[in-house]
Amino acid sequence: MNYRKRFKKYLDDLSQRRPSPGGGSALCLNFCLGVSLIEKAINYSLDKEAKLPIRDSKLAGGRYLMRLGKLKEEVYLYIDLDSQLFDKVMKARAKERQKLLKRSEKLIVDVARACESVFSLAKGVESGIKKSIISDFHIGLEFVRSALFGCVANLEANTKIFGRSNKYMGDFKKTLNQWQKF
């Protein structure tokens, strides 16, 4: 399968001198790429009974996969939604702009929280990942970490540009520093 052709349009649009797609859309894509690699590592590491040697013995590898899949599914929709919202923000005035900015900010906060969830899940499953696939697991975590970095950068930019500070930004920065070296 030729994946390059499927990504080309998005990458071309991303590089253009227009507001969207932009950083928010790209960080959502990064999140999804990272989760997909983590899912791959878990799938390769599952034994025949779909159990992974993990710290929390109540959870099976399949439950981790279900939770990761749900997070990815939610954020995947944001790849386009972020661009759509930002287009509307740029065209809107006064009260409507503020309303749209709140929706856009909520999207970014949701992605940041999803990143935090992935880190928590990954910590519980890392010891059970096979050595032959551990690099994909860690690359996936780096994609998710860069998505969280993007969320923080996006929220900081909104603070500077639109005068909107976010009450969660300090928590997200703390999480980013905590997971600097997983």
Per residue in 37-63, pLDDT tens? 999 999 888 765 545 554 443 345 678
Tally of domains within the chain:
1
Q: Tell me the pLDDT tens digit for each residue of 11-30.
A: 999 999 887 899 999 999 99
Note whether residue 76 is domain-resident. Answer: yes
Judge if the upstream peptide bond of residue 21 is cis by omega within 30 degrees of 0: yes
Identify the CATH number of the domain in which residue 112 sits: 1.20.120.680
pLDDT band at 182 (very low <50, low <70, confident <90, very high): low
Give the closest residue to 133 by CA, choosing from 39, 31, 56: 39
Residue 6 is assigned to a structural domain of this protein: no
Nearest to 78 by CA among 13, 164, 20: 20
At 59-117, the pLDDT tens digits run: 456 788 899 999 999 999 999 999 899 889 889 998 998 899 889 889 999 999 999 99
Does residue 79 fall inside a structural domain? yes
Residue 15 lies in a domain: no
Q: Quick one: pLDDT band at residue 178, thresholds 50, 70, 90?
A: confident
In-domain check, residue 87: yes
Q: Does any domain span residue 61?
A: yes
Contacts of 77 (CB under 8 A, 6+ apart): none
Structure confidence at residue 78 (pLDDT): 96
Structural domain harbouring 71: 22-178
16 within some domain? no
Q: Which of 41, 44, 182 is nearest to 115 (CA)?
A: 182
Please indicate, yes or no, if residue 36 is contained in any of the structural domains. Answer: yes
Tens digits of residue pLDDT in 151-176: 999 888 877 877 767 788 788 888 88
